[in-house]
Every structure is written in structure tokens, then in C-alpha cells.
Structure 1
């Protein structure tokens, strides 16, 4: 005990303890804090990356559901079905002929949408059941009619009713899982029901959308609002009900669309997104062990390094403490010897250590390296941002192509064949200018031509007249601007201004010199917007409207202007409800 007190009170002991406290404890604290911060940053980064993945899955599922809706609408608008579904037959031969005719038509529709992999059924008021007329479609009437369709559909007679995943209604597909859309068929005049149309899509169509994104221990599944499993990466759980803590319930209470939770003593990162226009949710569960796999390896290595560092710190503490304390101890002994014997020993002069100079040199090297690393990171982020904007600029929304081609098909049906060629020419010219990567900048004249092609296609699609008025100085037409810069503004004017008004509208484009650059103003006579709606438009990335051509939003237009030409250029919106909207762009003169 006396030796311990002597050690604590000695200069050597105090220097040793102080050095240990000032070196090892901060190192441990910084290490722990760094790991915690790294884990949170990693959670957020993984969440952002996987949220983008879920949004892509959401888009693909929306396309599939749109196709199902289109098929249901085809049958819903087919007035010829009423006579077959209400007719009472006394002649079995006549019944078989009519049934073959209806089922052949159903088969033709199935061939038109063969990629969808669906089964369709018509349940007539006369008690007959029709299905796609080919060899493997043998319907099980007991299973099909086990649903009280009329009572089920009368709750929402004018809308499609969706059923969660269940077994197929076909006899030879009892083990196949399907999800179903059903619609009550009614007459236009009397609004009386004359039958039910049932369309079952194989659940494998949903699974195929996300199966390529699966990895070890990761789960992706789709739920309805009652927590029934529509589709699941674990194929044995398809059609069952979610067990345990419902993921949507606890996630909906948070502002973020992800949360770390514990299931069966294992931590998971759970993310979700809501399917567009459906009460379905796409949920992804990722084990935290999978996310932290690399960081756990790093922890082990750092732990071993820390142990070595602590050992070295102890050795260094002993050495440094002895370096400072031994000269004082020797001096004390010399003084004691002088006092006792009067004998003054010669003191050797030791040249001072140059550790401070070495530390300053290494600090300068570290700062220089840190600045170089930061500059490289900024440069890499800038290049990444440029690549993202370029990819965004060049993307074409497939739903826009689908609507345009569908409009061309409708022109054939309504025998307006004289409009087909100009519509196709407008689409080809628009795609040619957009997909061409040889020139990132195009003239204002070319951008106007692209807008004219786009407006023409929109008029064909909606059957509404949109008047374009150009008031642009002829000297400006030869100047350059980034392609797809004005077209997104026209899109927003149509979708947010003209279409909600329900009336034929007009869009005016003004262009003039402004200071040392150009000012372009686009004005529509639509419904206008409030400040809150303007803020929502400016924050919209452009991905919410499936019928958009490019998917580029107003915010991206503003960012592209600032990124290409500087922060002094950009976009401004002014609007009042009922008085239209004005969008002003400022950009430099580029030859």
C-alpha cells in the first residue's frame, strides 16, 4: 500500500496516469462515437438506396395494374356482352355457338396482353360462365362461385374491386396463386347489372418484378391494407397474413419511411412505400447483420489495432514519464549529495528532443492530404451529379410512349387514319431529338419544334385544343440551351393548369434579351396555383405523373440551369388561383 501511494505521489506516477487518461480514454470515446455515427450514416445511405429501388418496383407494379385496369375497362365498355350474358337458351347448339364466340373474343384479348399472364372469367346473369377458350382453361365453378360476387361488388359498383392473393379458379392450376380484379357489368341506359367480369393475374407476375433484386436474407413483400400478403420473396408465405408486429403500423407513425426493429431477437432495417392508386404497400426487410457485415469486420480489426495501440501507449507512457522524471530525480539526488557531502557532480547536457517540430510537420502533411481528399470528394460528387442529370435528361417515360401508341391505335378504331402519319412523325421527331446524345445543347428553334411535336401528341391524346403562341425575338432562335429545358414547363402547364380547368386553353411563350442574357417567360391561362401548390411543384422530382414524357420536374430544370451556367440563373414561378401561371427562365447567351 505504501509503494502504491509513493507511486501515485511521485512525478513519474502522475505523468504516467495523466498520459494514460489523456490518450487512451479519448481514443476509446472517439472510436465508440465514430462507430455510432457511421452506423447511423450507413442506415440512412442504405435506406436512400433501397427507397429508390422500392420506387422502381412501385413504378413497374403500377404499369402492371394499369394494364389490368385497361383490360377490365375493355370488357366494361363492350355493349355486345349484355345480350349473351342475359340470354336464356332453349337450344343447346345455339348456346354452344354463342359461348364459343364470346370465349374466342376473350382469347383474342388474352393474346393482346399475353405478357400479363392472366385468367379472365365472365359470369352471366343467365348463370353461364365464360372463360378464355383454350385447352388448359378449365374453370372450377364451385371455387369461382364461392364468392358472392354481386353482394361483394355492389359496395363499389362503379369501381374495380381487388381481391388479395388466393388460389386459381382453374381446375388444373389449384396450386397457382393469383390476385383478382372484379367489376360489375351494367347497362348504359337502365344501369342494371347483367354480369360480372373477373380477371385473375398470376402472383408470379409481381414476384418477377422484384426477384432480381433479392439477396441473401433480404425480404421483399407486398401487403394490402388488411396486412394480407399479396406477394412475398418467401414463396411459402404468399396468400397468408403477416404475423407479429405489422410493419406498416409502426412505420406510418414516423416521418421517415424506414425503421430499425427487432424480430425474433434479430435486428432488421424495414422500409416501405405505398403503391400508386392502390392500398398496397411494398415492404423490404434487410438484416442489420447484412448491412453491418463489413463494418463488423472493421470493428474487429480496429479492436486488435486498439489493443496494440494501448500496449504501445503504456510503453510510451513509461518511457516519456521516465524521460521527464529521471532528470528531476537525478537532480534531486545531486542536490542531496551536495547537501550531505558538499560534492557537486557534473551535470551532462542533453540536447532537447524535436518532437514538436516533427508533430507540426506531420500535421501540415495531414491537413494537405485532408484538403486534397475533400477536393477529390467534391469533384466526384459533382461528376456524379452531372451524370445523374444527364441520365435524367435522356430518360423517356415508357408510359408516355404507351399512351401515344394507344392513341394511334384508337385513331385506327375511330377511322381517323389521316391523323396517324402526322402523329407518328411527331413522335419520331420528338424521340430523335431527345435520344440523340451527340449534342447536349440545341437551338431555341429546335426546342420550339420539339414543343410543337409534344403539343400535337397531347392534343391527339386528350382531344383538347391547346393553342401555342410564340413571341420570341428572331435573333434568339439561333442561341443554344440544354435540351428538354422548356418542354417540362409546358408539361406542367398542361397537367397542372389546362387539364384541371376542363376547357381548351392557350400557352404563350415570350423570349427577349435581358441584361447580358436571355429571359424566356411561359404563361398559361389555366386554373392557377396557390403558394403551397407552387412549392409542391418546385419540390416535385417529376416522377409522380405516369404520362409525362421525360420525367423531368420543374426543380430539375432549375438545378440544370444553375449547374450549367451558375447560381445567378434559374427559374421563377408566379401564379394566382383562377388567373393562370407564369414561369420565367433566365439563362446566358450561348452560341
Structure 2
């Protein structure tokens, strides 16, 4: 009888597991939203990303610089190879020219023989002469052949050289050279024409021999040089997988560091298409999934190219070692950065966290409308909300203060305007009475009109701003009264742009300056005086300059006048001083406007006001 055991999981265990997952996800979400989590993530990103970018950019730049440096160095190497090959080819050309200028060969190469004895005798002479030339250039290790018009073949009689006539004559030299009879023609690498050297690779120079007068061909000179002469020039430069080879314009391989490819043809590799673009250059190409730096240079003497192919892995070998070390150092730096980020984040976040908890406690107790729930925002959001509340409250408080100060300033100005000195009125009325005594009754009405108009403009009008024209009228009324009160004659000159007259300025702005010019500049002289008022447009605004010819002031006097809060003399018209004028300009229009005083003792005084255009 089989027994079946049923296993099941308790539903409470599954439920508690799900709750654990939810709690863990909630904590992770809260951590990501907290200032500590964000600071930690930010520090990590700011340390890893720049380090990675700088490292990658540095390696890329280093690779490009290394490519350029290696390319230049190897181009210089190719130039040296070119010079050495040119020396070799010049020696070959010199030998060819020696045969070309040997006039004695013509009779030998065109002579027909009736008996074998004479033929062998002349042939021995020619070949011995060729042997002497070979000894003169023995370091070149060449093979030379003369093909006469008489059908005979001559070669240097040395080491039992046996010519393979079929192979030598298979090139049809007359036809091959007839299109360039005056030049040396170069034949790409091939097998030797000698039977005892059939496996030797040689490259060949050939020249059609012609008579000096008729340019008639009488033979062909063929000179073959072992390809080893080319290989020996560059073989010591081969290392680290480097390949060097020489191609002709038809991509035949004249010499190659891979000895098995000598005499073959270069096909299927991408760089063969570049050779005709420039005399020298370098490119990076991919061959069989491996990158190579390929450099080439055209040989100056012939239509050949020296090509050098270097694996990029060999070039970057040292950089790869450096890269591994840098990655190790970067990994250590990242670990240190993580530790520093953790420490700094905790240092910044812990005080904010404490402040956040205190604010949350306060909000939950008394001001629950500021946040929806303590868990719905992070510390920064909570502090931002309360900061906004504080700023709004400060804005309201500052607004109330500014409004109160403005009202206070207006009230003070109104009070100053109302403070027409009683002594000024007493003196003016007394002057009118004196006019009656001295029988100048015709001046009484103008004096009273001037006083009434002056009081009406300054006291009765509620407008704080009046036109420049109205202010000039007030000055004229004031000057007229002053001339009646005193024995001094004050001359007023106005030079104001007529277009500026409708523009407005604060009431009683110019009158206190005129009054100051009279009391501080003109009256101390006990003589007549002149006050000039200039008005002009200045930098989009208005400039008014008031100049008197009084006694002038020192720097101390100017400072004292600027520090006076009001005119204290009982003889003054009002309590408005120079300092008040400057403050009113700045309060009404901004700190860029105001009043300046220029004066020297005995030189008069100039007061300049700047204000905007107000209509």
C-alpha cells in the first residue's frame, strides 16, 4: 500500500514573505529619495564618469599621437631605405652605361663567323672583359648578359656560369625594349637565367645597344642583380611581426620580408589601391580581422614602392601594459572615491536629516497643511517648502516695512513743505511794509503775488512731481522776494532745452540749491551775484547744472552741507537741505541718479543733478 504525503506552504508564511519584499522595496525607494541616497549616487557618478571619460579620451589621444609618431618615424625609415636602394640602382645604371658606351662591342655583336675557332676566340675576349667588370663591382654580385645581333649570347666566364638560352631569349628583348630604346628598363624579380642558379631570385636591368650615328640596334645588354641585395637593406629592421616589401607599378613583388612571396603578385589586400594616390603616406587597414599600420613610399629612381606593414598590436603593446596598470589604479581610486562619497554624504545628510525630523515633528503637531505625509517628501523638499513659507512671510514683512517707510518719507516731505520758516514770512511781510514807507507801492502787488504763488506751489498743491517749467517759476518767485528783502541784486540765467520743460521732477528740488547758492556763495560777498541754470538731455535722461559765481566752498564745507539733515537758518524758505534733495532723487528714481557738488574757494560752485525723463 503506497502512502502519499501532501506538502503545502502555510498562507501566513507566504503573506509575511510578500510583506517583507514590499518593506524592502519601500526602504530602497525611500533611500533613493533621501538626500543621503541622492548625494551618494551623485558623488559616485561624479567620480566614476569623469574618471572614465578622462581615461578613455587620454588613451584615444595617446593612441592617435602614437600612430602619428610611429608613422613619422617609419616614414623616415622608408626614406632611408629609399636612399640605399637608389644607391644600389645607381650602381646598376652605371654598369649598364659602361656597356652602352663601349663602342668595341658593336663589331663583336654584329660579326658573322665562318669557322668556330674565330667565334670562340672573340667570345672569350668579350666574356673576359665582362668578367673584369664584374670584379670591379664584385660587392654587387650581379649577372650580366650580352645578346648580339648575330644571335650569340655572351656572359661573364666565372664559376662555370651556364646560360639557359631559351629562358633568356623568351623575353623577346628587341620588342620589349624598342618602345624606350634610350632608357634602362627594369624587369621585376624572376628566376635567374643561369642553369646552375635556377632557384635564385633576381631583378633585371636591360638596355638596347645602338650605334652612335644611326641609332641602329646591334644588341641587348641584360644585367641581373640578386634580390638578396634589396633584402639585405631592410632585413635588420624586421621585428615585432613587421613586414617590408617592394612592389612595382603592376603590383609584382620585387622583394619581400616573407621570402616565399618574392617574385609573386600582391593581390586582394586593400592597401594596393592606395599606392597611386601619393608618393608617400600611411593608413590603418584591417586584414584578416587584424588591424595594421601600412606605410608606403615611392622609390625616387624607378616606379617601385616600398611598403611597410606593422601590426597595431605591436604598436600598442606598451600602451596595453600601461592601460592595465591605469585600470588598476582607476579601480583603486574608484574604491577610495566610494568611501569618500559615503563619508561626505553622511556628513551632509545627517544634519539635514535631524533638521528634517524636527520640522516634520513640528508640522505634524501644528501645521499639517504644509505636507501631505512625512514619508511623501525627502529632506530637501521639506526644507524647501518651509523655506518658501519663510520667504513669503519675509516678503510680506519687507513689503509692509517698505510701505511704512514710503509713507513715512512722504509724510516727512509734506512736513518739510509745510515748514515754511515763520521768520522768512515775517521778513517778507516786513519788506512789504517797508515798501509802503519808502513810497514804492508799485512793488507791493508783485511781491505779494510772488509770495502767494510760491506758497500755493509748495503748500496747497498735493502733487509730489511738478514740471520743470513750474519749478523755474517757483525759483523766479523766490528770487524776486529775495531781491525785495535784501539789497543784493541776483541775476538768473536759464539755458534749458525747451523740449525738457514738460518733464516732471520732485517739487522743491531746485529751489533749495538756489537758496544754498545765495546764502553760502553770494551773500558772504555782500555784492551782486549771478546764478546760471543749464538743462540738457544726458544718456537718455536729464542733467541740470546750477552754477554760481560766489565765494566757493572747501571739501569740508561740501561734506558739512551733505551731512545736514535740513536747513536750520531761520532766514531760509523751508527746511529742505542739499542732502534731502539727493536722497529724494535716489528714493524716487534709483541709486544711479542723484546730486554732485564741485567747488573750490574763490572759484564759485557747480551743483549737478541727474534724473530720468518723467512725463
* TM-score of the aligned structures, taking structure 1 as reference length: 0.56
Asked if structure 2 preserves the Cα contact closer than 8 Å seen for 1:248 and 1:272, the reply is no
Q: CA deviation at 1:84?
A: 0.5
Partner of 2:469: none
Asked if structure 1 preserves the Cα contact closer than 8 Å seen for 2:280 and 2:298, the reply is no
Question: Which of 141, 145, 162 lines up with 2:169 in the alignment?
Answer: 145
SS, match of residue 274 in structure 2:
helix
Q: Are residues 1:55 and 2:79 paired?
A: yes
SS, match of residue 269 in structure 2:
coil
Distance of 2:302 and 2:271 partners within structure 1: 17
Distance of 1:299 and 1:197 partners within structure 2: 59
SS, match of residue 257 in structure 1:
strand
Partner of 2:45: 21
Q: Within 5 Å, which residues of 2 pair with 1:497-512? A: none
Asked if structure 2 preserves the Cα contact closer than 8 Å seen for 1:221 and 1:230, the reply is yes
Q: Within 5 Å, which residues of 2 pair with 1:74-153? A: 74-153=98-177
Q: CA deviation at 1:48?
A: 0.6
Partner of 2:335: 311
Asked if structure 1 preserves the Cα contact closer than 8 Å seen for 2:146 and 2:220, the reply is yes
Partner of 2:211: 187
Asked if structure 1 preserves the Cα contact closer than 8 Å seen for 2:113 and 2:119, the reply is yes
Question: Which of 159, 167, 179 lines up with 2:191 in the alignment?
Answer: 167
Partner of 1:439: none
Change (3 A) 1:321 1:252: farther
Distance of 1:80 and 1:136 partners within structure 2: 25
Asked if structure 2 preserves the Cα contact closer than 8 Å seen for 1:178 and 1:200, the reply is yes
Q: Are residues 1:286 and 2:310 paired?
A: yes
Partner of 2:301: 277
Question: Which of 73, 79, 87 lines up with 2:97 in the alignment?
Answer: 73
Change (3 A) 1:38 1:109: same
1:193-227 deviation digits (Å, cap 9, x = unpaired)? 11110000000000001111111310000000000
1:78-126 deviation digits (Å, cap 9, x = unpaired)? 1100110011111211111111110011011111111111000000111
Asked if structure 1 preserves the Cα contact closer than 8 Å seen for 2:110 and 2:150, the reply is yes
SS, match of residue 354 in structure 2:
helix
Of residues 160-169 and 20-29 in structure 1, the stretch that sits farther from structure 2 once superposed is 20-29
Asked if structure 2 preserves the Cα contact closer than 8 Å seen for 1:163 and 1:180, the reply is yes
Distance of 1:173 and 1:9 partners within structure 2: 87
SS, match of residue 270 in structure 1:
strand
Asked if structure 2 preserves the Cα contact closer than 8 Å seen for 1:219 and 1:284, the reply is yes
Q: CA deviation at 1:252?
A: 4.5
Distance of 1:29 and 1:234 partners within structure 2: 42
Change (3 A) 1:59 1:18: same
The size of the alignment, in residue pairs, is 342
Change (3 A) 1:186 1:252: closer
Change (3 A) 1:232 1:256: closer
Distance of 2:140 and 2:48 partners within structure 1: 64
Distance of 2:363 and 2:219 partners within structure 1: 121
Q: Within 5 Å, which residues of 2 pair with 1:117-516? A: 117-250=141-274, 252-253=276-277, 257-333=281-357
Distance of 1:102 and 1:340 partners within structure 2: 122
Q: CA deviation at 1:246?
A: 5.0
Q: CA deviation at 1:339?
A: 8.9
1:382-432 deviation digits (Å, cap 9, x = unpaired)? xxxxxxxxxxxxxxxxxxxxxxxxxxxxxxxxxxxxxxxxxxxxxxxxxxx
Distance of 1:139 and 1:299 partners within structure 2: 60
Q: CA deviation at 1:22?
A: 1.6
Asked if structure 2 preserves the Cα contact closer than 8 Å seen for 1:251 and 1:258, the reply is no
Asked if structure 1 preserves the Cα contact closer than 8 Å seen for 2:286 and 2:292, the reply is yes
1:458-515 deviation digits (Å, cap 9, x = unpaired)? xxxxxxxxxxxxxxxxxxxxxxxxxxxxxxxxxxxxxxxxxxxxxxxxxxxxxxxxxx
SS, match of residue 74 in structure 1:
helix
Q: CA RMSD in A?
A: 2.0
Q: CA deviation at 1:309?
A: 2.2
Partner of 2:57: 33
Asked if structure 1 preserves the Cα contact closer than 8 Å seen for 2:251 and 2:265, the reply is yes
Distance of 1:79 and 1:36 partners within structure 2: 65
Partner of 1:6: 30
Change (3 A) 1:47 1:340: closer
Distance of 1:325 and 1:254 partners within structure 2: 65
Of residues 86-95 and 177-186 in structure 1, the stretch that sits farther from structure 2 once superposed is 86-95
For the pair shown, which has the larger CA radius of gyration, 1 or 2?
A: 2
Distance of 1:235 and 1:82 partners within structure 2: 40
Q: CA deviation at 1:297?
A: 1.2
Asked if structure 1 preserves the Cα contact closer than 8 Å seen for 2:242 and 2:311, the reply is yes
Distance of 1:143 and 1:182 partners within structure 2: 15
